[in-house]
Structure 1
Amino acid sequence: MAFWFNVATGQVENDDTRGMDSDVMGPYDTEEEASRALQTAAEKTKAWDEADRRWEEGED
């Protein structure tokens, strides 16, 4: 079963309770992973921004 994080409600959902596509992030393998969806997204965005900065400055 997949888990989803609903950004509208702030709740973890499963396939049976999942909200609209535009409201959910996922799928995630575990409820715990889904509960950290916003943190994971922020960490990935920060890493991608840093990679872009290095590329634009010719460091990579």
Structure 2
Amino acid sequence: MVIEAERNRLPVGIMNVEQALALPGELDAKFSHTDHEPGVTNLFVDRRELVSKVCDGK
């Protein structure tokens, strides 16, 4: 998970999808794209996109 602060992305933790979805909805966080290796990719999704991917079974 990363938090965007000003123009920087700050890594703040490693978690699975269930843990990510359990975070408060008002937290402005982005998550590594589930189709790519976490910590390596520069592709991120927000909570809404993460929920959508999980519901689609991806």
TM-score with structure 1 setting the length: 0.29
Whichever structure has more helix as a proportion of its residues is 1
Bigger CA radius of gyration: 1
When normalised by structure 2's length, the TM-score is 0.30
